[in-house]
A and B are shown apart, each in its own frame.
Chain A
């Protein structure tokens, strides 16, 4: 009986007894394992635990990319032993030191993010199985490799919704194991928190992959479609005369019911449905597999949440989960906007109305008797949200809630400012609010308008203002004209990169002739973040890098236009190709970015995927020039997404605020011992250039980030043409954004063919004069000098076990 997974059995001597078995513990995994026997060879790490990747991969990675700890404060107040002063790396009462404590703090961010995506995946999986059944096939586009992250981690290749369950259960089990380690008196070694964080990062990409593939398959999202439709975006696209239903969060489950209701009742052109964060992105993917004309809109990222409420435009707000502010209800209440909480993760203390009649709930919310309600029943949610929006629109219009402050009111606010400077001190962006207020008092609002784009809408300034000036409203009132013009276009999230695209780009990427993949993987919330991301993407697209985006980064790339009035999505193709701008989808679609790199290793490189994380990651680190950008994320999820990229050998540059995650991974570019790998042909050590020289780091400005990313795309396996192309871009970008030539360009030269073509002679002269390299000027060849050798057949690896002589 212990081996029973499906089928029937009988128990003698029992009569007239009904036995119902809902689930056999471990049965799904056993069934899946049985099936996996047909899947060919597997690597050594199927169904990994906390220690599985530690020695074989993580510690090797961390030996080169060392943890850099920058604590947020001196103390630990985690248990009743404390609070303890850990400054100067002292140990607290429980025995943990400052390094270990901060490793744990970073780790906590990573497992929090992992849990968010895993819980999101679980919610969608259960819901979609309930609606569509376990046998719904995973149709994700023209690919054989559908689930790279699941396959690498578990060895499984699920083909239906039901077959995903073992990977889901496994992720949840490991998250429990991971969370247990933060209990006082357990793990205290910083390096082991890093190893566990990397493991959690790999699980995060499993959770994200599950979330996205189930919604792509069941909700008819674009399936690896490079020509997914263009979507209107920006607050300026909202028709103020129409009722506006505003959705905020990351889980599309409930929104699909609102869309269905709107479509069934012919309301799609009679009201606006738009959203913030990834719920918005995913509602624009719903039923878009056949590229129908989109009618829903994307407003913006988390930093826009309060700003959009303060416009007074939303008639109803529906929140679901993840990046949702904690003050939506009190803010909405001031402007007569009912709030519906549609996911049990955020209930805001609101009363539940699942058991109440729809009409009664609409009446109750309309009357203002309650500020909002929890409605988890999606059928009711779909009807109530849409009908309530139509009901609230004229009521709010008549009450003046949809009108912004008058000029007189504005003057009154501005005149109250006592120039105390408190707002400047607490502003996370250190915006010069007092200066702007001073000019506003004199009638010049332009300084306030300048703040609009940089303001992250956190209202810390309002919290400390002794004169109780609603500073955010002041900035937004001053910026009305600018806000009305906030209109852009974004390509709907296309889903995975297809196997065919990998086949055609794989060689270019591994050889370096496509200079790299630039992955814009996080929300650019912080000051000027949106515009920065636009500049960064444009610079790399013009240089034929592949730019892939997800989530709010994808939104922000579409918010700006060139001199011809075109957004980046209109200017560049949507395919995974040199010079392509690929909007993969929402946050959870990030799994397809690691997935693309993994597929290069598997499809182009022929590496075994199943249970083979270390080898796949080793391949990516040494051969696939990719670099992520998380430019100004607020959330813990960004930490887990980035860490998941890191374990797979993909470095990421973060914005300056991300130094508050407390832990970076930076290599010592001056220590030659760190820059050696094995040649898998014979196990001999070979020197490599110091690239990438970080796995996780911050940059101060977007201008600094650009050359850092270009440099981080250099890989040991580049052929000479590829190295020459990559160096050309990096050195040009360094000259453009930093100034002059980088000091260490020569470290990447193996032969004269590596040198940027246009400057070859000049650079050889520099090598001769400044570095003492021997040059044969007749043959225009480097005779001696380089520390690293070029061998086109070399097989760089960090894993000794993969070497033939090992």
Chain B
């Protein structure tokens, strides 16, 4: 029988780019490979189980934190390098090669995003995806289409385990 199921590539250019779904091991690899990584957290990070894991990621991989929304309060006594910035503003600055970054040392090549409402971070990342070379890795519990790579949509319990696995691999 002739295989009539092959070659189903669309002839039109609909352009529905999606992020590559990854496991914790790939996320760990990408974070370790990054030259100027930045951990970008949303206000959801204040959930204690997540806050604890975010701090561990930042410390273990030695990554500064962009504490967006109203999340900074959670990090003030955690001995991590966390600074407040509005995430919409951050998304814009990431597209500017001349941005000095949060520490004055220049822009970032990789951002790791955690604990946002998916519609919001997805919208912010549509700017970085289309207008910059920065890589974004979403390690939240929802699949984020506009990230370069993302965890799929998983349960809260699975998410805790995935983050623990990621931390172990850093």
Contacts and interface: CB of A to CB of B under 8 A. Distances in A.
Contact of B17 (A74, A84, A430, A740): A74
A694 interface: yes
Interface in A675-716: 693-694, 697-701, 703-704, 708
B12 interface: yes
A83 B16 CA distance: 11
Given A430-B119, A704-B69, A739-B76, A697 B126 contact: no
Nearest to A702: B70
Contacts of B87: 700
Given A75-B16, A430-B117, A742-B84, A699 B92 contact: no
Given A425-B153, A700-B70, A666 B88 contact: yes
Nearest to A655: B120
Interface stretch (B22-30, B52-60, B93-101, B162-170): B93-101
Contact of B88 (A83, A87, A664, A668): A664
Contact of A84 (B13, B86, B93, B96): B13
B151 interface: no
B131 A69 contact: yes
A670 B88 contact: no
A71 B86 CA distance: 19
Contacts of B89: 666, 693-694, 697
Given A68-B91, A704-B86, A659 B68 contact: no
B17 A87 contact: yes
Interface in B103-154: 116-120, 123-124, 126-127, 129-131, 142, 153
Contacts, number: 128
Interface in B28-81: 42-43, 68-70, 72-76
Contact of A69 (B76, B98, B127): B127
Contacts of B124: 70, 659
Contacts of B118: 430
A454 to B, nearest CB: 12
B116 to A, nearest CB: 7
Residue among A69, A82, A697, A704 facing the most chain B CB atoms (10 A cut-off): A704
Contacts of A666: 88-89, 92
A84 B13 CA distance: 5
B83 interface: yes
Given A89-B130, A664-B88, A70 B16 contact: no
A659 B16 contact: no
Contact of B120 (A68, A87, A89, A659): A659
B76 A740 contact: yes
Given A87-B17, A700-B43, A738 B130 contact: no
Contact of B84 (A425, A429, A430, A738): A738
A98 B130 CA distance: 8
B69 A668 contact: no
Nearest to B125: A70
A374 interface: no
A693 B93 CA distance: 13
Given A70-B127, A89-B131, A703-B70, A697 B88 contact: yes
A607 interface: no
Given A85-B15, A701-B70, A738-B72, A70 B126 contact: yes
A402 B76 CA distance: 53
B126 A72 contact: yes
Given A66-B92, A700-B43, A71 B130 contact: yes
Given A89-B130, A697-B88, A75 B93 contact: no
A573 B17 CA distance: 53
Contacts of B83: 743
A659 B146 CA distance: 14
B130 A700 contact: no
Contacts of A75: 13-16
A319 B27 CA distance: 52
Nearest to B123: A659
A656 interface: yes
A699 B75 CA distance: 19
A68 B89 CA distance: 9
A73 interface: yes
A742 B67 CA distance: 12
A349 B43 CA distance: 45
Contacts of A703: 43, 69-70
Interface residues of A, number: 48
Contacts of A668: 93, 96, 99
Contacts of B142: 430
B130 A88 contact: yes
B69 A700 contact: yes
Contact of A670 (B73, B99, B127): B99
Contacts of B16: 73-75
A137 B144 CA distance: 57
Nearest to A421: B153
Contacts of A68: 88, 91-92, 127
Interface in A213-238: none
A44 interface: no
A49 interface: no
A334 interface: no
A69 B73 CA distance: 29
Contacts of B123: 70, 72, 659-660
Contacts of B42: 700
A428 B123 CA distance: 13
A699 B100 CA distance: 22
A85 B126 contact: no
Interface in A640-671: 656-657, 659-660, 664, 666, 668, 670-671
A738 B71 CA distance: 7
Given A83-B13, A85-B14, A739-B73, A700 B68 contact: yes
Interface in A67-124: 68-75, 82-89, 98-99
Nearest to A696: B88
Contacts of B17: 74, 87
A83 B15 CA distance: 9
Interface string B5-17: 0000000111111
Contact of A70 (B12, B13, B91, B153): B91
Contact of B72 (A69, A72, A425, A739): A739
A743 B127 contact: no
Given A430-B118, A738-B72, A743 B12 contact: no
Contacts of B14: 74-75, 83, 85
Contacts of B76: 739-740
B69 A701 contact: yes
A790 interface: no
A68 B68 CA distance: 18
B15 A74 contact: yes
Given A71-B130, A74-B16, A75-B16, A664 B70 contact: no
A670 to B, nearest CB: 6
A704 B43 contact: yes
A12 B91 CA distance: 73
A188 B118 CA distance: 30
A88 B128 CA distance: 9
A343 B12 CA distance: 41
Nearest to A66: B92
A670 B100 contact: yes
Contact of B73 (A70, A83, A738): A738
A655 B65 CA distance: 23
Nearest to B100: A670
Contacts of A701: 43, 69-70
A670 B90 CA distance: 12
A700 B120 contact: yes
Nearest to A75: B15
A737 interface: yes
7 contacts: A74-B15, A656-B120, A660-B123, A670-B93, A671-B98, A700-B86, A708-B86
Given A70-B126, A99-B131, A430-B117, 8 more contacts: A68-B92, A68-B127, A72-B126, A75-B14, A83-B14, A87-B129, A657-B120, A739-B73
Nearest 3 interchain pairs by C-beta: A85-B15, A700-B69, A74-B15
